[in-house]
């Protein structure tokens, strides 16, 4: 595609994302809905003006990495560790319940073949970390206790979702399920998660030193974005989702990140503030492109709205998809309302679900009808929870 065509496309994406966001806010709707809707309208579902071509996809992926970077930057690692056990429980429940529910429904009720049912289960496992965190950030709830639990759970969920995807993919191409490989991947991801923030922290000291001595403006944007991209690439290399690289980089630069040997460096907080103020405009530029792209990749036109199977299949799948996540915080201690909020926040499926569905279609495991049904379920789980969460927090503001 010629560069000036890209300019027009990006112009349309950025401007409509902003217009629909402003509209959404005026209609008392979560801002992220505006961006998703802009994508649905511009994409194949309706106008078909914008295609998620290579350059747009690149900017979108940088956008989601930056969003996770920002979340990492504002994360208190001590609190994340404190809520860690709860996150692990929520993540494992939130992964297994929807998988078991959706698999059972597909295999026993709809009588679909084993592999199809496994892929359907896989599609509904992983929470969309991007949408969940964006909604919580919009509601200024990402810093609350339930926000921390959801953050930890969504990160784990994403990792396990990718491992599950790798397992099912191997299974589907006839290699059988190789648990040893999956275990290796899990171990290398764990090592990455322990070592990467330390490495990023050391790099950030170098950046800080350069920052005080550099005479050419622009050190922070270029080095911080490099750091993010490097960790995203590294995450991919060890088998983890790329966006978690951004999260790790953010975590390491966070104001509250202490090195384990207890060295706290005074004056850090000025530098952290400088990073935040310079990075915010960049993050705000890139993230909407990601959410518009999610909207672009939902092709609602592919759905045969007259097929009764699609309706029955998608509505029953939607119910188990929601129930599986809502029930996921059942085993942790806490107020009922807080646990309900956690469950709700875990409902959105997005990136990984769409990747699963797309893979299912491409490898002809999913028929067009099943694919369409799964796209409806992903769309509903993505579009509804922001409304419900907004309403929920408005209704019960004090009790949380």
List of residues contacting its own copies (CB under 8 A) = 1, 3-4, 6-8, 10-11, 14-15, 17-18, 21-22, 25, 31, 54-55, 57-58, 61, 138, 210, 214-223, 225-226, 229-230, 232-233, 236-237, 242, 278-282, 284-285, 287-288
Smallest distance, its own copies to C-beta of residue 388, A: 20
Measure the CA–CA gap between 186 and 38, rounded to whole angstroms.
37
| SS3 call for 335 | coil
Measure the CA–CA gap between 6 and 9, rounded to whole angstroms.
5
Is residue 147 a contact partner of residue 165, using CB atoms and an 8 Å limit?
no
Smallest distance, its own copies to C-beta of residue 151, A: 20
Q: Which residues of 168-198 are buried (b: 16+ CB within 10 A; e: fewer)?
A: beebbeeeeeeeeebeebeeebeebbeebbe
Q: Is 218 left (phi over 0), alpha (psi -120 to 50) or beta?
A: left
Smallest distance, its own copies to C-beta of residue 277, A: 8
* Nearest-10 crossing angle of helices 351-362, 145-172: 10
Measured from the CB atom, the residue of 78 and 280 that comes closer to its own copies is 280
Smallest distance, its own copies to C-beta of residue 11, A: 4
Spatial CB neighbours of 234, under 8 Å, sequence gap ≥ 6 = 192, 196, 245
Measured from the CB atom, the residue of 22 and 48 that comes closer to its own copies is 22
DSSP assigned state of 304: -
Spatial CB neighbours of 95, under 8 Å, sequence gap ≥ 6 = 125, 126, 157, 160, 161, 164
Can you read off the two tokens belonging to residue 302?
């592919």
Measure the CA–CA gap between 339 and 331, rounded to whole angstroms.
10
Measured from the CB atom, the residue of 13 and 80 that comes closer to its own copies is 13
Smallest distance, its own copies to C-beta of residue 296, A: 15
Smallest distance, its own copies to C-beta of residue 1, A: 7
DSSP-based helix, strand, coil % in the chain, nearest 5: 75, 0, 25
Is residue 158 a contact partner of residue 241, using CB atoms and an 8 Å limit?
yes
Measured from the CB atom, the residue of 119 and 231 that comes closer to its own copies is 231
Measured from the CB atom, the residue of 58 and 202 that comes closer to its own copies is 58
Measured from the CB atom, the residue of 25 and 198 that comes closer to its own copies is 25
Measured from the CB atom, the residue of 25 and 88 that comes closer to its own copies is 25
Smallest distance, its own copies to C-beta of residue 218, A: 3
Measured from the CB atom, the residue of 56 and 118 that comes closer to its own copies is 56
Measured from the CB atom, the residue of 13 and 120 that comes closer to its own copies is 13
Can you read off the two tokens belonging to residue 142?
């990402």
Smallest distance, its own copies to C-beta of residue 350, A: 16
At residue 319's C-alpha, the angle toward residues 115 and 95, to 5°, is 55
Smallest distance, its own copies to C-beta of residue 156, A: 21
């Amino acid at each position: 595609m010629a560069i000036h065509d890209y300019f027009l496309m990006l112009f349309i994406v950025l401007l409509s994302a902003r217009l629909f966001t402003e509209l959404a806010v005026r209609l008392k709707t979560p801002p992220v809905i505006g961006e998703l809707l802009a994508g649905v309208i511009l994409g194949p579902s309706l106008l078909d003006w914008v295609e998620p071509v290579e350059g747009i996809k690149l900017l979108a992926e940088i956008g989601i990495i930056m969003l996770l970077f920002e979340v990492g930057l504002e994360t208190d690692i001590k609190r994340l560790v404190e809520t860690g056990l709860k996150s692990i429980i929520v993540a494992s429940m939130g992964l297994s319940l929807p998988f078991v529910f959706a698999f059972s429904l597909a295999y026993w009720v709809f009588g679909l073949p084993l592999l199809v049912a496994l892929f359907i289960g896989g599609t509904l496992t992983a929470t969309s970390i991007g949408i969940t965190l964006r909604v919580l950030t919009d509601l200024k709830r990402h810093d609350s206790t339930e926000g921390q639990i959801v953050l930890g759970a969504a990160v784990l969920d994403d990792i396990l979702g990718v491992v599950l995807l790798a397992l099912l993919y191997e299974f589907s191409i006839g290699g059988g399920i190789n648990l040893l490989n999956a275990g290796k991947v899990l171990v290398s991801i764990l090592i990455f998660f322990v070592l990467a923030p330390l490495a990023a922290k050391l790099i950030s000291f170098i950046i800080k030193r350069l920052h005080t001595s550099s005479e050419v403006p622009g050190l922070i944007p270029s080095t911080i974005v490099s750091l993010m991209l490097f960790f995203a690439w590294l995450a991919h290399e060890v088998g983890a989702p790329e966006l978690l690289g951004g999260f790790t980089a953010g975590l390491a630069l966070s104001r509250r990140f202490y090195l384990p040997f207890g060295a706290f460096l005074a004056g850090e907080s000025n530098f952290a503030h400088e990073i935040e103020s310079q990075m915010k405009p960049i993050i705000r530029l890139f993230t909407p492109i990601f959410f518009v792209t999610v909207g672009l990749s939902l092709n609602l036109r592919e759905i045969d709205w007259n097929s009764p199977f699609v309706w029955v299949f998608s509505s029953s799948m939607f119910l188990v998809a929601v129930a599986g996540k809502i029930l996921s915080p059942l085993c942790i201690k806490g107020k009922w309302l807080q646990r309900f909020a956690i469950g709700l926040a875990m409902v959105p499926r997005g990136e990984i679900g769409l990747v699963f569905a797309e893979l299912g279609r491409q490898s002809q495991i999913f028929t067009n009808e099943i694919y369409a049904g799964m796209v409806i379920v992903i769309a509903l789980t993505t579009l509804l929870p922001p409304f419900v969460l907004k309403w929920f927090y408005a209704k019960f503001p004090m009790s949380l």
